[in-house]
Amino acid sequence: MKRYARQITLPQLGMSGQQKLQAASVLVIGAGGLGCPALLYLAGAGVGHIGIVDFDIVALHNLHRQVLYTMQDIGRPKALAAQQHLEARNPDIHVHAYTQRLDLEGALTLFPQYDVIIDATDNFNTRYLVNDCCAWLQKPLVYGSVSQLEGQVTVFDTPYNYRDLFPEPPAPGTIADCEQGGVLGVLPGIVGTVQATEAIKLVTGIGTPLRGQLWAYNLSNQSTYMIQYAGSAWRPESEAALRTLHTPKASYTIIDGAQYHALRALEDTLVVDVRQPHELPASTADLQLPLAELEKQLPALAAKHIIIICQRGIRSERAAALLAQQYPRVYSLRGGLEALQP
C-alpha cells in the first residue's frame, strides 16, 4: 500500500477507502480525449479492475489531447495501447481491453461485470446506448462531454439519466464533434479528470457525487457553474423495449478495407467522402459532400453501390443511415480512411 500512502493519509479515505478502490471495477467507454485522463487517474488511484472499450486506432492527430499514447502507438488499437501503458504504470491492477465497437449485445454483456460505467464517448448514438443500458441495468454512469471550449460532467444514477437533460438525440449534424468543431487539448484533460474523480467518489463514498447536478466549465474564462435538474426515474420498460430503441431504422452495410477495395473495383460504384474539404488526407473519392450538406438535402445519386467514407467511420455511418432511406445498397467504411492507411 506504500504506492497509495498519500491518499490513504486522507481521513476521508483511509485504508478502508483504499480497499474499496482495490475491490472496485470501472468500465470506461472510449479511450480518447476524455478516456485517457480518466484511465490514468483511475489506475493511479488503484482501482482494482479497469475495463476499456474502444474500437479505434491511435493516430497522429490524437496525441495533442490523448496523453496516454506516444508516437510508438500510432496504428495500434487504442484499447490495447492503453492497457499496456496502464499496467506498466501500476502492475497491481487488472486492465481489460475490448477492441470491438460497442453495440447493444456488448453493453448487456459487459456492463453487469462492472460497478461504475464512465461515458467518454464522442458520438450521440453510443451515448444514448450507454445511458439506456445503464438505466435498464441500474448502473451508475459518469457522463462527460466537451465542445470546443466548454465541458460538462454529471452522474446519472437512479432516478437520473441522460434523457432527463436531452430526451432525444439531436438532428444529425446540428452539434459539431471534435473532428468538425475542434477542441483545445487541455479541455478533455480537465473534464476526464473530473469524471475519474466522480467514479472514485462513487466507489469510496467520499464527498457528494454530482447526481442531479450538471457541472459545466468554460475554458475561455475559467468559469464554472452548476445546473440542477430533476430525475424522471425513466428506464426502458423491458429488455425488448430497450432493443426496440436501439434497432437501426435504416439498413446499410458496414464494410472493411478488403470489401471496400472489392466494391471500389466494380463499374457501378460511387464513393462519397462526407468530410470537410480541408481535412487530410486529401480526398480521392468520386464525390465530396460534407455531412452537414447531405443532411440538408439528400442528393440524387446514380450508382448501384454507394460507399460512404470519412476520417474514422463515425460520420460515414450517420450519412449511410440517411442515404439508406433512399438507396438500397449503401455501405460505410469501418474505421474510415485511417483504417486504409498502411
- CATH number of the domain to which 211 belongs: 3.40.50.720
- Based on the fold, state whether residues 193 and 327 are members of the same structural domain: no
- Based on the fold, state whether residues 192 and 298 are members of the same structural domain: no
On whether the CB atoms of residues 141 and 157 are closer than 8 A, the answer is: yes
On whether the CB atoms of residues 308 and 330 are closer than 8 A, the answer is: yes
Report the pLDDT value the prediction gives residue 123, as an integer from 0 to 100. 84
- Based on the fold, state whether residues 187 and 43 are members of the same structural domain: yes
Would you give per-residue pLDDT tens digits along the chain (342 residues)?
889 999 999 999 999 999 999 999 999 999 999 999 999 999 999 999 999 999 888 988 889 999 999 999 998 999 999 999 999 999 999 999 999 889 999 999 999 999 999 999 988 889 999 999 999 999 999 999 998 899 999 999 999 999 999 998 776 555 555 555 667 889 999 999 999 999 999 999 999 999 999 999 999 999 999 999 999 999 998 989 998 888 766 678 889 888 998 988 888 899 999 998 888 888 788 889 888 888 777 788 878 889 999 988 888 988 888 888 788 889 999 988 888 876
Helices (H), 234-314: 239-245, 257-264, 291-296
- Based on the fold, state whether residues 328 and 207 are members of the same structural domain: no
- Based on the fold, state whether residues 262 and 238 are members of the same structural domain: no
Residue 168 lies in domain: 2-245
- Based on the fold, state whether residues 178 and 321 are members of the same structural domain: no
Q: What is the pLDDT of residues 271-320, one digit of tens each?
A: 999 998 888 888 788 889 888 888 777 788 878 889 999 988 888 988 88
Q: What is the three-class DSSP state of 296?
A: helix
- Based on the fold, state whether residues 237 and 260 are members of the same structural domain: no
- Based on the fold, state whether residues 284 and 220 are members of the same structural domain: no
Q: Which of 245, 275, 292 is the last residue of a domain?
A: 245
Q: pTM of the predicted model, to two decimals?
A: 0.78
Domain containing 301 — which CATH number?
Answer: 3.40.250.10
Count CB-CB contacts under 10 A for residue 70: 11
- Based on the fold, state whether residues 75 and 127 are members of the same structural domain: yes
- Based on the fold, state whether residues 74 and 126 are members of the same structural domain: yes
Q: Which of 216, 245, 274 is the last residue of a domain?
A: 245
CA-closest candidate to residue 307, choices 340, 275, 329: 329
Q: Which of 245, 267, 290 is the last residue of a domain?
A: 245
Domain count, the chain: 2
- Based on the fold, state whether residues 120 and 141 are members of the same structural domain: yes
- Based on the fold, state whether residues 211 and 267 are members of the same structural domain: no
Pairing of strands 150-156, 141-147: antiparallel
Q: What is the three-class DSSP state of 294?
A: helix
